[in-house]
Amino acid sequence: MALDRPTPNDLRAFWMPFTANRQFKQAPRMLVEAEGMFYTTSDGRQVLDGTAGLWCCNAGHKRPRIVEAIQKQAAELDYAPAFQMGHPKAFELANRLVDLAPDGIDHAFFTNSGSESVETALKIAIAYHRARGDSARTRLIGRERGYHGVNFGGISVGGIVNNRRHFGAMLAGVDHLPHTHIPENQWTKGQPEHGAHLADDLERIVALHGADTIAAVIVEPVAGSTGVLIPPKGYLQRLREITAKHGILLIFDEVITGFGRLGSAFGAQHFDVMPDMITCAKGLTNGVIPMGAVLTTGAIHDAFMQGPEHLIELFHGYTYSGNPIASAAALATLETYREDALFERCAEIAPYWEEAVHSLKDRRHVIDIRNMGLIGAVELEPIAGAPTQRAFSAFLKAYEKGILIRTTGDIIAMSPPLIIEKAHIDQLIGTLGEVLDSLD
C-alpha cells in the first residue's frame, strides 16, 4: 500500500535528539501513522511497536477517547495561565493522580516532561528542608547507571557516562550509589536474589558527608534507559529504611515504571515501598502530549504552606504546567487505563512475556536477559573495539523486518504497549530471534 505521505527531501535543518543524525539522514526511518500496536512507515509497511513509542504509549496508539478529549479541549479552552490562575481539569487530574498513587501521596505538581519532573522534585527536596529550617540539607544522591532525563540536575544525579561527560561540572554536592547490576544475577527472571546489600552503601555516603547535609536520594525503581536493571529483592526496602532513619527524602523516578508498566499504577505499589516523591511523565498522557508530574506526600506540601497567604509558597513552575489540553489528554488516558483494566492486563500477560523474552537465551551473542512486568532486555556481547555497533545493527534489521525495538549500549530493551496480545509477543520475539541469528 503506497501512502500519500512523501518523505521530505531536505532533512538538514532538524537536529534530531539522541540520534545518529548522519546515519539517519542517509536512510531515514519515517513513521506516518499509528494505531493499536502498529506504526505505519512512509513506505507503507506495518511495524509492530515493541517499545510503546519511547516507553510512553501504554494504551497503544490512536485511542479514540484520548483523540476526542484533545479535540474537544482545543475547541473549548486552549490555554489558561498557569500562574495565579486555574482551570478545572488540572485540579481534576491532580485528584485522579493522587487517587492512583500509594496512600500518603496527596499532591501533584505539573511539569512537561520526565526531565522537568526530576528537576522539580530535586528542587522541592532542597526547598522542603530549607522550609523546615534544615537548610544545610542540600546534597543529592543518585546512582551509577541511573537515568533522570537530560537537564542539569538530572544528569548530575544520573549515572550514564555519555550523558554527563560532555557537559562540564554539573551540580555540586552530588554523590552516587553503586548500580545494582552484578554478575551473580545473570539470566534472572524478575527480581534478582543478590544485591540488597548494595543499598547499604548509602550508610557509607552518610558517614562521609553527614546525614544533615543530604536532602534526597533519587532512584528509578527499575532502571530503564541504562538497559533495564531490576532491583534485587529487598534493595528498595533497604534504601527506604536507611533514608527514613537519616531524615533523607526518597524520590522514585517512575517516568517509565509509572502507569502500569509493572502491573500496578506505580512501581512503589508493585514493590510495596513508599517514597516521599514520585516523578512521572510519559504514560501520563499515553505519550500523546508532553506532560509530567511530581507527586508528593502531604508532609512535603504542607511544609511550604506557611507565612502570609498572599505570598507564593514555591518559586517554581512552567508556562505549560497543567496545560488544559495536556490535562484533558491525561484524564482521558487514565480513564482508558481504567476502562480497559490495562494495569491488571499487564500483570496477567507478564508471565507469558517473561517466558518469551527468556526463550532468546540461546540465540547468538546473547549474554544476559532481564525482565519485569512488560519490560524485557536482551544484552549482547559487544563487538571488540566497536561497542554499541552490534545492538544498533539489530535495531536496523529489526525495523526492516517490521518490529520496533530500542537499544542502549549493546542492550536491546523492549517495553510494548500494555494492550499487547500473545500473538504480538510471538511476532516480536520470533522476529527478534531471527534478527539475532543474522548478526555478525
SS (H, E, C) the chain: CCCCCCCCCCCCCCCCCCCCHHHHHHCCCCEEEEEECEEEECCCCEEEECCHHHHCCCCCECCHHHHHHHHHHHHHCCCCCCCCCCCHHHHHHHHHHHHHCCCCEEEEEEECCHHHHHHHHHHHHHHHHHHCCCCCCCEEEEECCCCCCCCHHHHHHCCCHHHHCCCCCCCCCEEEECCCCCHHHCCCCCCCCCCHHHHHHHHHHHHHHCHHHEEEEEECCCECCCCCECCCCCHHHHHHHHHHHCCCEEEEECCCCCCCCCCCCCHHHHHCCCCCEEEECHHHHCCCCCCEEEEEEHHHHHHHCCCCCCCCCCCCCCCCCCCHHHHHHHHHHHHHHHHCCHHHHHHHHHHHHHHHHHHHHHCCCEEEEEEECCEEEEEECCECCECCHHHHHHHHHHHHCCEECEEECCEEEECCCCCCCHHHHHHHHHHHHHHHHCCC
Return the range that interacts with ligand PLP (CB under 6 A); candidates 60-68, 218-226, 262-270, 375-383.
218-226
Comparison of 263 and 433: residue with beta carbon closer to ligand PLP:
263
Question: Binding ligand PLP by CB under 6 A: which of 40, 41, 73, 115?
Answer: 115
256 part of the interface to ligand PLP, by CB under 6 A: yes
Q: Could you tell me whether strands 139-143 and 174-177 are parallel, antiparallel, or unpaired per DSSP bridges? A: parallel
Return the range that interacts with ligand PLP (CB under 6 A); candidates 93-101, 110-118, 159-167, 401-409.
110-118
Size of the site for ligand PLP (CB under 6 A): 14
225 part of the interface to ligand PLP, by CB under 6 A: yes
Is the CB of residue 254 less than 8 Å from the CB of residue 239? no
Is the CB of residue 50 less than 8 Å from the CB of residue 29? no
295 part of the interface to ligand PLP, by CB under 6 A: no
Question: Binding ligand PLP by CB under 6 A: which of 101, 236, 255, 412?
Answer: 255
220 part of the interface to ligand PLP, by CB under 6 A: yes
Comparison of 177 and 356: residue with beta carbon closer to ligand PLP:
177
Is the CB of residue 399 less than 8 Å from the CB of residue 43? no
Question: Binding ligand PLP by CB under 6 A: which of 53, 114, 231, 373?
Answer: 114
221 part of the interface to ligand PLP, by CB under 6 A: no
- By C-alpha distance, which of 50, 132, 93, 92 is closest to 424? 50
- Cβ at position 314, least distance to ligand PLP in Å: 21
- Cβ at position 351, least distance to ligand PLP in Å: 24
Residue 113 CB coordination number (10 Å): 19
- Cβ at position 326, least distance to ligand PLP in Å: 13
Return the range that interacts with ligand PLP (CB under 6 A); candidates 75-83, 141-149, 209-217, 370-378.
141-149
60 part of the interface to ligand PLP, by CB under 6 A: no
148 part of the interface to ligand PLP, by CB under 6 A: yes
- Cβ at position 10, least distance to ligand PLP in Å: 27
Question: Rounded CA gap, 18 and 3, in Å?
Answer: 28
Question: Binding ligand PLP by CB under 6 A: which of 97, 281, 295, 429?
Answer: 281
Return the range that interacts with ligand PLP (CB under 6 A); candidates 23-31, 108-116, 184-192, 211-219.
108-116
Comparison of 60 and 221: residue with beta carbon closer to ligand PLP:
221
Is the CB of residue 125 less than 8 Å from the CB of residue 215? yes
- Cβ at position 175, least distance to ligand PLP in Å: 19
CA dihedral sign of residues 118, 119, 122, 124: negative
Return the range that interacts with ligand PLP (CB under 6 A); candidates 227-235, 249-257, 311-319, 366-374.
249-257
231 part of the interface to ligand PLP, by CB under 6 A: no
180 part of the interface to ligand PLP, by CB under 6 A: no
Comparison of 185 and 225: residue with beta carbon closer to ligand PLP:
225
118 part of the interface to ligand PLP, by CB under 6 A: yes
Comparison of 117 and 243: residue with beta carbon closer to ligand PLP:
117
147 part of the interface to ligand PLP, by CB under 6 A: yes
149 part of the interface to ligand PLP, by CB under 6 A: yes
- Cβ at position 332, least distance to ligand PLP in Å: 19
318 part of the interface to ligand PLP, by CB under 6 A: no
Question: Binding ligand PLP by CB under 6 A: which of 253, 276, 368, 410?
Answer: 253
Q: Which residues lie near ligand PLP (CB under 6 A)? A: 113-115, 118, 147-149, 220, 224-225, 253, 255-256, 281
